[in-house]
Structure 1
């Protein structure tokens, strides 16, 4: 077999295997079908979708329209093979989620005055803070939406008194399961899968917190929001 054709086929088949893994080895493992599914979930595939779709057509021409022996109706250019290999390397070693996380993570204890937390929202332009107990166990994610909800429920005679109100007083109005945890070594695929799963379950995932082992009671090493996922698309586009 022509060497460049062989390189193309081997690399293409390796990418096909990655797509099967990313989609849980479905019964319908057609390359383009897997590509379409993966596009909705993973930035690497989304960025290279059109490119990979064209490579699939080329691959079909090579495999199914061979004239004889090593004589092919279509032969990939060396640049095409190199581009395919670059995509394959990214799938082999996807970026770590921590690369796209906000670091260091600013967090507060349950007994922190709400007024102080609100000042931090304004000062740092951050929309959520993890809250921990005195024993450093994760207590909840305090968000700007949660604070607004609490304020709307606790105004009296058009006045809101924040004296003696702590972060822990607001946490009960936060919606459940708005945060998940991953270990710091998780990949961007793991990260995207969490947000995709929450979307399929019709719940809003506010953030994914990265800790050393993925245990909620470990100290946070990074926090990722939906806005941070934009960084993934942007970097893939720049590297393409």
Structure 2
């Protein structure tokens, strides 16, 4: 029984340390407070939030309400210790962001004919495509909304021919899209942090593009939108 209590305490303290790290080591490092803050940003914590709150109560009972010596008012079940270790392992080794990205990424060049891109919209059911210039540097996101604006502008000018229209022409009509880049080795925590930060800054993040080292002059190996983040929660729920 003493071994179980010791394992529980050690594992709980390690999780506490991870929560501090996730929150930038704030002055108020109360476990439940850190849990509340982390829940808003990270799916792993969100999924296990209620269980971790209960484990915090058990930990307090073990530490602060010990009757004498090795006699505890409450002791953890073996399954509880096993589950706590599982949560700790996920916090230590979170899945890579690439796990939740759309792959492979279909992208086009700035001089790609618009009719070809519109055909791809219909075939793949995708609402946006990354566009790259001749140096393979990211130029912007071409979206179905951007195409509608482009067509409306052409119609106003009395020119509805698309024979010679290119991706670059539509990009000129696109609203500025907030797109960020991460390396393919980034964790799901890094990914969620980007979306959370943009939300706090009131700058909607349209997509995160994953490249080999996280630079915009590298070809995309994965793309993540807010819709893809739903897969993060679902995966963690399945694991739990």
- What is the TM-score when the length of structure 2 is the normalising length? 0.96
Q: Report the counterpart of residue 150 of structure 1 in structure 2.
A: 150
Seen in structure 2, the aligned counterparts of structure 1 residues 135 and 17 have a Cα distance that, compared at 3 Å, is same
Alignment of 1:11 onto 2:11: yes
Following superposition of structure 1 onto structure 2, how do residues 16-165 of structure 1 map, counting pairs within 5 Å?
A: 16-156=16-156, 160-165=160-165
CA contact (8 A) 2:31 2:56 kept: yes
Give the deviation of 1:138 after TM superposition.
1.1
Q: Distance in 2 between the 1:159 and 1:172 partners?
A: 16
Seen in structure 2, the aligned counterparts of structure 1 residues 49 and 119 have a Cα distance that, compared at 3 Å, is same
Give the deviation of 1:134 after TM superposition.
1.3
Secondary structure at the aligned position of 2:221 is classed as strand
Q: Deviations over 1:58-79 (max 9, x none)?
A: 1111111111111111101000
Q: How many residues align?
A: 240
CA contact (8 A) 2:140 2:177 kept: no
Secondary structure at the aligned position of 1:214 is classed as coil
Deviates more, 1:151-160 or 1:173-182: 151-160
Secondary structure at the aligned position of 1:72 is classed as coil
Give the deviation of 1:158 after TM superposition.
7.8
Secondary structure at the aligned position of 1:149 is classed as helix
Q: Distance in 2 between the 1:47 and 1:56 partners?
A: 16
Q: Distance in 2 between the 1:182 and 1:49 partners?
A: 27
- What is the TM-score when the length of structure 1 is the normalising length? 0.96
Give the deviation of 1:159 after TM superposition.
6.8
Q: Distance in 1 between the 2:4 and 2:153 partners?
A: 67
CA contact (8 A) 1:141 1:178 kept: no
Seen in structure 2, the aligned counterparts of structure 1 residues 61 and 163 have a Cα distance that, compared at 3 Å, is same
| RMSD (Å) for aligned C-alpha atoms | 1.5
Gaps of 5+ in 1: none
Q: Distance in 2 between the 1:30 and 1:50 partners?
A: 16
Secondary structure at the aligned position of 1:135 is classed as coil
